[in-house]
Amino acid sequence: MRRRNMNVAERAVGKRGSTGEYTGRNSATSKASSGGDAQAFRTLYQENLGVIYRFIYSKVGNREEAEDLTSQVFLKAVRGLDSQRGEQSIQSWLYQVARTTIADYWRAFYKVRATSLEAILEQGWEAPAEERVGLTSAHLEGRVQAILELLPPHYREVLICRFLLNLSIKETAEQMRLSEANVKVLQFRALKKAAEVSERNGDS
């Protein structure tokens, strides 16, 4: 059991997108619909853990929450595999479960009025319905690159330091020859601007 789990996990992490490698049968993506078959679900897990995790991570930005919410999505999936899927592909169904899970999470977090919740969703906390299938890390980086290129140089620089190089506020200040207070203002504004750029691109 332990060994098998590690295999499942290693494949899920290391071989994303490589369909059919695990079972030696064909890809379960199209087959898993038939009655929640356990083996099919394992394959589904291996094929989709990466994309769902990345999707959720891109909404919450940290491992702790991403792991929590990803677990919720797959537990919902294993419980409801054959019940609510309709004609969707497994993957877009999983995305839908993920979106609902994230929306529920924000709803619980903010305990907001309905109008405020709409505002959250409108502003892209939740994904658009046609979230690209197969969100790879290269795709994520590509989208970020595209946004960066459209930003003024000092905005671009502060975001690269803080997010791509993971520098601290102090290191970023040294790098940019600014005060830490200035960096704090700059990064906030840079991200705000980035959001506007990305909305204009119809991106997020």
Restricted to residues 8-37, the positions that interact with other proteins (CB under 8 A) are: 8-10, 12-13, 36
Asked whether position 174 contacts other proteins by CB under 8 A, the answer is no
Q: Report if residue 155 touches other proteins, rule: CB under 8 A.
A: no
Distances (CA, A) of 79 to 84, 122, 179: 10, 30, 52
Residues contacting other proteins: total by CB under 8 A: 73
- Per CB under 8 A, the list member of 28, 32, 66, 94 interacting with other proteins is 66
Asked if 99 interacts with other proteins (CB under 8 A), we say no
From residue 69, alpha-carbon distances to 5, 13, 32, 54, 90 in Å are 20, 17, 22, 11, 18
Say how many CA atoms lie within 13 Å of 200 toward its Cβ: 10
Q: Does 149 participate in binding other proteins (rule CB under 8 A)?
A: no
> Is there a contact between 131 and 55 (Cβ–Cβ < 8 Å)?
yes
CB of 18 to other proteins, least distance (A): 15
Ramachandran bin of 141, using left for φ above 0, alpha for ψ from -120 to 50, beta for the remaining angles: alpha
Are the C-beta atoms of 127 and 99 separated by less than 8 Å? yes
The one among 116, 128, 132, 170 contacting other proteins by CB under 8 A: 116
Select the residue interacting with other proteins from 103, 120, 150, 178 (CB under 8 A).
Answer: 120
Q: How far is the CB of 158 from other proteins (least distance, A)?
A: 11
Nearer to other proteins, 87 or 144 (CB): 144
**Binding residue for other proteins, selected from 20, 25, 30, 110, defined by CB under 8 A:** 110
- How many C-beta atoms lie closer than 10 Å to residue 119's C-beta? 12
Of 27 and 190, CB closest to other proteins? 190
Closest CA to 99 of 48, 55, 61: 55
